[in-house]
Amino acid sequence: MPWAENSQPFGLKTKYIGHTEADINFLTINSMIAVQAHAEGATLAVRAQPGARKNAVLGEQAGALKVAVMAPPEDGRANAALVEVLKAWLGVKRSQVELLIGPTNRNKVFLIRGVTVEQLTALVSRE
């Protein structure tokens, strides 16, 4: 079959033209989120979505972990909310999460202190 259906919430179906169901599972499971080594731990690429209806980790987008936060992108409030969402989702302390790159950009890089690349990759891939 040249396409596969993927069940979505509320009974919606998404068709992936040109992919088999095995291809879809591979693409979903093996989407790569950029995690790199750092002297103090590991870095995580994040794509922010400020002003969302709820705080949530939405998955992978363009090699980054997409995170939605309700806070507006004003006076660093969205960045603070991103830190809180990542802290809770990764199960680490607030002091372990620091914004390294992108304070005024949707594409950000966070330092997660005290974890290795392998540990962070395992935490991120459990979604």
Q: Report the CATH number of the 35-125 domain.
A: 3.30.1200.10
The proportion of the chain whose per-residue pLDDT surpasses 70, expressed as a percent, equals 75
Predicted structure pTM score: 0.74
| 78, 71 Cβ separation under 8 angstroms | yes
pLDDT in tens, 75-94: 999 999 999 999 999 999 99
pLDDT in tens, 30-72: 458 999 999 999 999 999 999 999 999 999 999 999 999 999 9
Q: Sketch the domain layout of the chain as residue ranges.
A: 1-30, 35-125
What DSSP assignment string belongs to 76-88?
A: THHHHHHHHHHHH
- Give me the pLDDT at residue 60, please: 92
